[in-house]
Amino acid sequence: MKKYEEKSISSTPIYDGKVISLRVDEVTLPNGKTSKRELIKHPGAVAIIPITAQGKIVFVEQYRKALERSLIETPAGKLEPGEEPAVTARRELEEETGYCCEKLTHIQTFATSPGFADEIIHVYVAEGLSKVENPAALDEDEFVEIIEATVEEAEEMMKNGQIFDAKTAYSVLWAKEYLQKG
């Protein structure tokens, strides 16, 4: 038994959507009592830290309905069934920014909200960027603006709330350390 493991007694599907599914599990707790867990199933995602030859980070600004506002974020996207994260990263980089890269390096994989979701994000740094002549199109429901910023500018965006999500804040902190090492 894993430390503090909760064993599922039953699982009730609630919703099965295009991106996520939701279920409620009844579980046995380590102390023998039972409880309910509302759980979101997600296919996983990637986030890309594109760094230009000038040492700037390429971000996208887009509206996020869940928060009812626009955010500045690292390019990102969900994994397609059977797709390797590095393939997703290259696809999303091109779709969202119009760039391709010579070098793509996996940095970290982490859980976004393990209290209720199984989503994990694979973070990559993209270097040796060049504009794609005819880039892949954004999804029909995506609208983004490209923003290039220095680490210092990105830190200011974090302070003023323009950068507000964990994957992007992590990316800025990682880029700061990476670029300082030169």
The residues annotated with a catalytic role in the active site are: 140
Q: How far apart are CA 147 and CA 127, in angstroms?
A: 16
CA 118 to chain centre: 13
Question: How many C-beta neighbours within 10 Å does residue 24 have?
Answer: 13
Instruction: Give the Å distances, CA to CA, from 37 to 1, 5, 40, 85, 116.
Output: 19, 13, 10, 28, 8
